[in-house]
């Protein structure tokens, strides 16, 4: 807690636009704002779980530079509900979360998914992180639904792209939201297909619902990563920077709400520091030497950037 206030961080859905969440997390951590609980949906569940597990954000950003389509795309069987199986992304999440369960995370974390049979939202807060994240990120028609405990789940964003209420229900006094907003219009408006119109209309409807949910938070950070597609990884640096920029702009309001007048280093006394590199991440990056030697000139987690 910061000055007795429980801080919740809500990370919204948005496909590859979710890379902007990394920049948001970096700026908050650099300024001594470590959330007491994190909620995530879809892309927000991916990056929220990775951070909650204790991953160094700067090593994560470096790892993103090694990712290409073959890392995350695996063709599925359409009659199983999706063109992509989602297994590869789940494997990456399992590695980056150190195969942890919810109760083992450095920071409490929850994520949401949609039950296809009941139409209800499920809040995941137990079991393996990677399984719950796999359910939360199962974009309908793109990824096959995730089967967990006899139920099939798809993307939590079908119901709620910004799970703010689950943070309030768990005692958050101040909620910071990272809302990725509406996707850019990628089709030719002069020659749209019926599918283009349906998709765009759906995007607009979902964006308006999300905006209402975001308004329930105390601080809204809206990075502009609209140039990113659903699974586009190229341009990750710009996405991270977009998150950093908007999070930096939001800092005065966050500090005001939390009563943070003293230096960040004094505000977070006794709180666990983020930024411990996971062995699996070093292995992915081919890092045999200690992180301090490999990352010369790269800021370590929890330290403010110059």
Beta-carbon contacts of 137 under 8 Å, excluding residues fewer than 6 positions away, are 42, 43, 45, 46, 86, 89, 143, 155
- Supply the Cα-derived Rg of the chain in whole angstroms: 19
The size of the chain, in residues, is 306
Q: Is 155 noted as a catalytic residue in this protein?
A: yes
Contact 242, 224 (CB under 8 A): yes
Q: Is 68 noted as a catalytic residue in this protein?
A: no
CA distance 124 to 306: 37
Please identify which of the residues 36, 155, 173, 179 carries the catalytic annotation.
155
Please identify which of the residues 13, 39, 42, 239 carries the catalytic annotation.
42
Positions marked catalytic: 42, 155
């Amino acid at each position: 807690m910061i000055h007795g206030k429980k801080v919740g961080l809500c990370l919204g859905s948005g496909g590859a636009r979710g890379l902007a969440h990394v920049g948001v997390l970096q700026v908050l951590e650099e300024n001594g704002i470590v959330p007491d609980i994190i909620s995530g949906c879809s892309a927000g569940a991916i990056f929220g779980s990775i951070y909650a597990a204790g991953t160094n954000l700067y090593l994560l950003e470096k790892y993103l530079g090694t990712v290409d389509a073959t890392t995350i795309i695996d063709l599925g069987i359409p009659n199983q509900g999706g063109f992509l199986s989602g297994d590869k992304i789940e494997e990456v999440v399992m590695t980056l979360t150190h195969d942890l369960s919810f109760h083992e995370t450095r920071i409490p974390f929850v994520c949401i998914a949609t039950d296809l049979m009941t139409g209800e939202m499920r809040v995941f807060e137990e079991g393996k992180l990677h399984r719950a994240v796999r359910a939360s990120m199962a974009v309908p028609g793109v990824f096959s639904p995730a089967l967990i405990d006899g139920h099939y789940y798809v993307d939590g964003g079908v119901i709620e792209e910004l799970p703010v209420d689950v943070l309030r229900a768990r005692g958050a006094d101040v909620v910071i939201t990272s809302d990725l907003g509406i996707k850019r219009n990628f089709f030719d408006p002069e020659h749209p297909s019926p599918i283009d119109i349906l998709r765009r209309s759906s995007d607009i409807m979902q964006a308006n619902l999300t905006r209402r949910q975001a308004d329930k938070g105390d601080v809204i950070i809206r990075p502009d990563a609209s140039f990113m597609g659903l699974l586009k990884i190229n341009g990750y640096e710009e996405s991270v920077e977009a998150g950093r920029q908007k999070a930096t702009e939001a800092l005065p309001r966050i500090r005001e709400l939390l009563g943070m007048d003293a230096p960040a280093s004094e505000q977070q006394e006794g709180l666990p520091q983020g930024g411990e590199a996971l062995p699996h991440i070093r292995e992915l990056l081919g890092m045999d030497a200690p992180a301090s030697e490999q990352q010369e000139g790269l800021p370590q987690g929890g330290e403010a950037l110059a």
